[in-house]
Amino acid sequence: MRRVRYDRPGGPEVLRLEEAPVPTPGPGELLVRVAAAGVTLPVVRKVRESPEPIPLGGEVAGEVAGLGPGVTGHAPGDRVTGLVFGHAYADYALLRTAMASPVPDGASATDAVALVRSGLVAHGALAAARPAPGESALITGAAGGVGHLAVQLAALRGAGRVVAAVSDPAKADFVRSLGATDVVTYAQEGWGEPVDYCLDAVGGELLAPALAALAPFGRLVAYSSGGGTVRAYDLLVGAKSVTGFQMALIARGRPDTYEAWRRELWRLFGAGALRPAVHAAFPLEEAAKAHEVIESRANLGKVVLVP
């Protein structure tokens, strides 16, 4: 089979396609013939920053091609999606049964990759913000794979105002089409009227303006891999709070919550209320181009590899 890997840290240019044996599923694992694999900013960052090469993981969707010892509840030919911790940029991938979600009829593999993992992060971050109907929301990275779903979910949860923060004003029409009522860019001075909560996908230098955009008693949920520092004084003066959110902890520690969120995402998709957007689908041999799109923050929605 083919898979994408790299041998040294760097930019998209270090990615290369290689031949590798088809992996053998172990206990609790499915062998999935990959039809689509998601490309995420955390993985792109790891390629640049990890001192040692790591498998390029991420969400995949495809057909079950084999079962590990003792696996029940799945059969060859089943359509599934889920997060792969090993090699995801490949013709075949190993998916833990605990992370596997069935793909319903009427949904494509790219729909599934764009919806489930990114949607779970958006859903979970929104839940961590404890929104009340009528409250105002700020979504950073609003045109990205997670952000474009968070904009829609905030509106569906009854936000009175949804402010989409983006890197480029050219993205304004896209986020407005998803339900954003206001659009701001990272570079502009001030982000308008204060908001009740913020879902921050960017981190780093953006944490300070995101915190400043909160009204008194506002809540910021940080789920970015971009790091950053918050001053305690900036929290104290407005009685503001910051909550960290990581999807992997929910998947491992609260499987019932994880499954309930997955069902809700598919319900909203089936009702036409939640629309995952795919910016572009690249073949495996163009994985470097997919990473370039993410690094340049040019994407409107999800970037996908299609073996």
Q: Does residue 99 share a domain with residue 126? A: no
Q: For position 204, what pLDDT does the model report?
A: 87
Cα gap 8→56, rounded to integer Å:
13
* Domain membership flag for residue 264: no
pLDDT at 225 over 80: no
Q: Does residue 292 share a domain with residue 171? A: no
The residue that leads in pLDDT, 63 or 227, is 63
% pLDDT > 90, the chain:
80
- Consecutive H or E run containing 183: strand 182-185
Q: Does residue 282 share a domain with residue 239? A: no
Residue 244: both structure tokens together = 């960290």
Q: Nearest-CA neighbor of 151 among 128, 194, 185, 181?
A: 181
Q: Does residue 240 share a domain with residue 133? A: yes
Q: Does residue 131 share a domain with residue 50? A: no
- Consecutive H or E run containing 281: strand 278-282
The model scores a pTM over 0.75:
yes
Summarize the confidence of residues 129-141 as an average pLDDT. 97
pLDDT digits (tens, 9 = 90+) for 48-86: 998 889 999 999 999 999 999 999 999 999 999 999 999
Q: For position 217, what pLDDT does the model report?
A: 97
Q: Does residue 218 share a domain with residue 122? A: yes
Q: Does residue 206 share a domain with residue 122? A: yes
* Domain membership flag for residue 178: yes
pLDDT at 193 over 90: yes
The residue that leads in pLDDT, 20 or 235, is 20
* Domain membership flag for residue 213: yes
pLDDT at 224 over 90: no
What domain range is 77 assigned to? 2-103+277-305
CA dihedral defined by 290, 295, 297, 302, rounded to 10 degrees? Answer: 40
186 and 165 Cβ atoms separated by less than 8 Å: yes
Overall domain count for the chain: 2
* Domain membership flag for residue 23: yes
pLDDT at 255 over 90: no
Q: Does residue 222 share a domain with residue 187? A: yes
Q: Does residue 124 share a domain with residue 86? A: no
Split at pLDDT 50, 70, 90, the class of 12 is: very high
Q: Does residue 237 share a domain with residue 167? A: yes
* Domain membership flag for residue 133: yes
Dump the DSSP string for 43-76.
Answer: HHHHHHH-SS-----EEEEEEEEEE-TT--S--T
Summarize the confidence of residues 5-28 as an average pLDDT. 96
Q: For position 174, what pLDDT does the model report?
A: 97
